[in-house]
Structure 1
Amino acid sequence: MKAFLIAGEPSGDRLGGALIAGLRELDPGLEIAGIGGEAMAAQGLSSLFPMSELSLMGIWEILPRYRALKRRIAQAAQAVVAAAPDVLITIDSPDFGLRVARLVRAAAPGIRTVHYVAPSVWAWRPGRAAKMAEVVDHVLAILPFEPPLMHTAGMSCDFVGHPVVAEPVATPAEAAAFRARHGIAPEAPLVLCLPGSRQGEVARLAPRFDEALIRLRDRVPELRVVLPTVPGVSAMVGQMVRRWPTAPVVVQDSADKRAAFAAADLALAASGTVSLELAANQVPMVIGYDMAPMTRALLGMLLKTDTVTLVNLVTDTRAVPEFLGRRCRPELMAPALLQLLDDPEARDEQLAAMELTMNLLGRGGEPPGLRAARSVIKAVRAPR
């Protein structure tokens, strides 16, 4: 089988890497091309252009680079048509991937299209699913309640499990070694600061997160902070932390990041997949998020749910406190963090919701990358 895969950000790249590995296990003769990052490159993908060019979010964040993105969309579509794959797999990042799929469908309607990660129509813009069905044949869903929504819109869809359930978790010994390596006492409260993986997110959230943590340090002087980051924003994070009054430990190596998650007592995090990584490591969290003012206003009118945190959504609870939009303020987030340190009942409620989340997302079953690969092959072979 020949597959063309497109990922637009680090979380999609990880999905793509696991999917390629699963496809190779089921089809050793697999040929691949496309756009991706480090995880997909590790599986043999030579990216058409750097994936970092696509790691944008929000209407007003995208507008200044619209022309460049439009050229990349056309370039990607031309590459797909020229490659003539059996399947085009767009991974998350629908603003880019589905525009490519639309051009490909017009030029080469015989190419099957699979989209990995269902659009969050349960949260906002339910009409997106019907529009996506015009160019997508099959959807790989990572949340268990999504397949019926995709079926209603006219696409086949399988729940394939969330990749977080298959990601390695550091051992207690590795967590202790991390603390020792960075001079963090075993009894010192350790909080993770996770302001996002996109430059716009980091610029907007990091100063607010740091102010919240300064307030928390005023109440808990022995508190230590670790800031895991990713290549696309590591230089930016490095510049910012040099200006902070108490610089956190910055880690980028994947093994070091796993150990940091295992060693942490608490986290202040941007909304997104990272909430599930924290849940897998049983790290109680507070979520903060904001966008450019116009994007925030538009989303505020469109949102259909009162929570965007996946732990809350999957378990139908509100165990994880959120501070979104105008409420993403240090003076509100700091007390919520302190409560999780001081209140065993609040911690236990979150830990129970995290355990349930992991079970519902497929923990203990076949690895999601392999389940996704089986679903792709089934979709390619299905009659039209």
Structure 2
Amino acid sequence: MTQDKPLLIAVIAGEHSGDLLGAGLLRELRRRQPNIEFIGVGGPLMEAEGLKSLVPMDDLAVMGLAEVLGRLRTLLAHRKTLVKTFLERQPSLFIGIDAPDFNLPIAKRLKAQGIATLHYVSPSVWAWRQGRIKGIKQSVDHVLCLLPFEKEFYDKHQLPATFVGHPLADSIPLQWDQEQAREDIHLTDRERGQRQVVALLPGSRAGEIARLGPVFLQAAQQYLERHPQTLFISPMISAARAKQFRALQQQLAPELSLQLIDGQSRSAMAAADALVLTSGTVTLEAMLIKRPMVVAYRFNWLTFQIMRHMFKAPFFSLPNLLAGRELVPELLQDEVNPERIVAAIEQQLEAADHGELITTFTRLHHRLQRDADKVSADVALSLATSSDSSI
């Protein structure tokens, strides 16, 4: 590589959480290596760090086996385009950020052509379909793990891996002032000081809101009957999702006092006394912000029938997986009903009042603080420069 030729890195993130992880990594790489170019797929955060996105990230944001089948033609067309471009451009490194079903086949093609490959966010191979480890070893040179028990799994299978911690643990403060958060999302003086606040987070995808929104709203209505001073808030990732959720609320719980918030999901969580939320990275954010939570998820029926026989982990929410025990209530599929959600909120608030829940959240927060962006950049640059020196 000549002195003035930029270091070219290909990177693909498939959804908002990957865009967030990728932005921190790209920012750190650019800080260390100003003469660098990023191509691939990402959202607005990665694009702000210089990524040239070749296809819309939203096209890749599909969750669930049945849902993927409906978008398969588009996904395969994008994959073909990206592989062709990467092979023509010959990046020094390919980084797949999460989205393993999309990213690992691309990594396999590139690795076979001598391009170094790095996967950021371990697939949940420790939880289900453990036989996938063979394909992962064929596809990637190194895995960046967000959780400590993931590295132990890869060590056992002789695949290089680094526990980098989680960038969220680095960026979210150990204590988040609730009063300030309520001010930040513009609650009134009375709402800030006198009312109990419960946040509803039914997901960022239209399908998630369609499946979880109705039962979250019905649970909120029942909770309000038992706790009349409660105010409900709900951060929405976009105007389209806000319109969808508001329509459900007007249909199912028109009397409910519900404030929709444009973005600001972390401030909304910090402002709340308790959270009802979908599974995923948002549960980790809630744990780091240290608010009591109830985690609920419903899959498409076909997806659930397939996955129920394959899932081996004892829990599906990140707080419980990290704690190794049921720290927060998990409700899945038919368990997701208003009565169980209401009872679980009350149980979580009682545990938080005793301080045990918040103490455990704080201990787990410390465990995940590893300066993930810097550790990940160390590994990425090592692979990229090793690849260049072998050319």
The question of a shared fold, defined as TM-score above 0.5 by the shorter chain, is answered with yes
Q: Secondary structure at the match of 1:49?
A: coil
The farther-off stretch of 325-334 and 51-60 is 325-334
8 Å contact 1:319–1:349 — kept in the other structure?
A: no
Counterpart pick for 1:289 among 293, 297, 306: 297
Counterpart pick for 1:248 among 237, 258, 270: 258
| Closer, same or farther: CA 339–214 of 1 in aligned 2, 3 Å | same
Offset from partner CA, 1:41-68 (integer Å, 9 cap, x none): 1112131121111111111111111111
Counterpart pick for 2:161 among 157, 161, 167: 157
Output the CA distance in 1 between the equivalents of 2:196 and 2:381.
47
Aligned pairs for 1:131-170 within 5 A: 131-169=135-173
Output the CA distance in 2 between the equivalents of 1:234 and 1:4.
33
Counterpart pick for 1:190 among 175, 192, 197: 197
Provide the aligned length of Structure 1 versus Structure 2: 376
TM-fit CA distance, 1:173: 5.2
| Closer, same or farther: CA 319–78 of 1 in aligned 2, 3 Å | same
8 Å contact 2:199–2:234 — kept in the other structure?
A: yes
Q: Secondary structure at the match of 2:234?
A: strand
TM-fit CA distance, 1:198: 2.0
| Closer, same or farther: CA 305–213 of 1 in aligned 2, 3 Å | same
Partner of 1:299: 307
Output the CA distance in 2 between the equivalents of 1:248 and 1:340.
21
Partner of 1:326: 334
Aligned pairs for 1:1-384 within 5 A: 1-106=7-112, 109-169=113-173, 171-172=177-178, 174-178=180-184, 180-182=186-188, 184-231=191-238, 233-243=241-251, 244-245=253-254, 246=256, 248-254=258-264, 257-341=265-349, 343-344=350-351, 348-362=355-369, 365=370, 367-382=371-386
Q: Secondary structure at the match of 1:145?
A: helix
Offset from partner CA, 1:61-83 (integer Å, 9 cap, x none): 11111111111111111121122
Offset from partner CA, 1:158-186 (integer Å, 9 cap, x none): 11110111224554553241365456241
Unaligned 5+ runs, structure 2: 1-6
TM-score by length of 1: 0.92
Output the CA distance in 1 between the equivalents of 2:51 and 2:354.
42
Code of the residue aligned with 1:34 in structure 2: it is G
Offset from partner CA, 1:239-288 (integer Å, 9 cap, x none): 4344342252112233xx33222211100011111111111111110110
TM-fit CA distance, 1:223: 0.7
Output the CA distance in 2 between the equivalents of 1:229 and 1:85.
36
8 Å contact 1:280–1:358 — kept in the other structure?
A: yes
Offset from partner CA, 1:318-346 (integer Å, 9 cap, x none): 110110122122221111112233x2467
The farther-off stretch of 374-383 and 287-296 is 374-383
TM-score by length of 2: 0.90
Output the CA distance in 1 between the equivalents of 2:90 and 2:241.
34
Output the CA distance in 1 between the equivalents of 2:365 and 2:146.
12
TM-fit CA distance, 1:214: 1.2
Code of the residue aligned with 1:110 in structure 2: it is G
Unaligned 5+ runs, structure 1: none
Q: Secondary structure at the match of 1:197?
A: coil
TM-fit CA distance, 1:295: 1.1
8 Å contact 2:92–2:385 — kept in the other structure?
A: no
Offset from partner CA, 1:90-116 (integer Å, 9 cap, x none): 00011111122233345xx11111000
8 Å contact 1:17–1:43 — kept in the other structure?
A: yes
8 Å contact 2:105–2:139 — kept in the other structure?
A: no
TM-fit CA distance, 1:8: 0.3
Output the CA distance in 2 between the equivalents of 1:77 and 1:347.
54
Code of the residue aligned with 2:225 in structure 1: it is D
Code of the residue aligned with 2:355 in structure 1: it is D
Output the CA distance in 1 between the equivalents of 2:340 and 2:178.
32
8 Å contact 2:172–2:288 — kept in the other structure?
A: no
| Closer, same or farther: CA 247–59 of 1 in aligned 2, 3 Å | farther
Output the CA distance in 2 between the equivalents of 1:56 and 1:95.
11
Output the CA distance in 1 between the equivalents of 2:68 and 2:196.
38
| Closer, same or farther: CA 234–81 of 1 in aligned 2, 3 Å | farther
* Aligned-pair identity (%): 33
TM-fit CA distance, 1:120: 1.2
Code of the residue aligned with 2:166 in structure 1: it is H
Q: Secondary structure at the match of 1:302?
A: coil
Output the CA distance in 2 between the equivalents of 1:279 and 1:21.
25
Output the CA distance in 1 between the equivalents of 2:231 and 2:9.
45
Output the CA distance in 1 between the equivalents of 2:75 and 2:351.
48
| Closer, same or farther: CA 126–182 of 1 in aligned 2, 3 Å | farther
8 Å contact 1:60–1:295 — kept in the other structure?
A: yes
